[in-house]
Amino acid sequence: MIKMVRIDERLIHGQVAMIWSKQLRIDRIIVVNEKAAADPILSSTLKMAAPDSVKVIILNEEKAKVLLQDPRINDLSILVIVNSPKDALFVAENATEISKVNIGNYGKANKNGEERMKLNDNVFLGEQDKEQLRKIIALGITTEYQLVPDQPITDMQTVL
């Protein structure tokens, strides 16, 4: 079962590896990212950042779509990590069941000169990002900002 989808530009790093993986009691991390799936060095680096007790799978969208619809994933405890709201929407539209989308770090870099709304020190959203998050919320999926589990939760529906 997919415990959570996390949007984080850094993909797998200390917060994900040490804090979220323990909090969620996961045994798998699935990274859905075209660049990481195509880059063996980046894939290896991401796998090394994960705890030894967690298996990491890095997939492009085509392969992720197949895996996300496989009923066997219901027997696993999974954290899906993406690096954008666009990719989170792809996962939300293609997975059989998702309870929550969590935003950690996103949008600090000014992308293509696009004006971005500052949600806090860790999240900056452009209009397209906000629209994609609204679509996730419209699917009935709880969408929230929470950097780490012991911090307060911001419901994205109230912010957007």
Active site residues: 13
Q: What is the DSSP string of the chain?
A: -EEEEEEETT-SSHIIIIIIHHHHT-SEEEEE-HHHHH-HHHHHHHHHHS-TTSEEEEE-HHHHHHHHT-GGGGGS-EEEEESSHHHHHHHHHHSS-B-EEEEEEB--S-GGG---EE-SSSBEE-HHHHHHHHHHHHTT-EEEE-SSTTSPPEEHHHH-
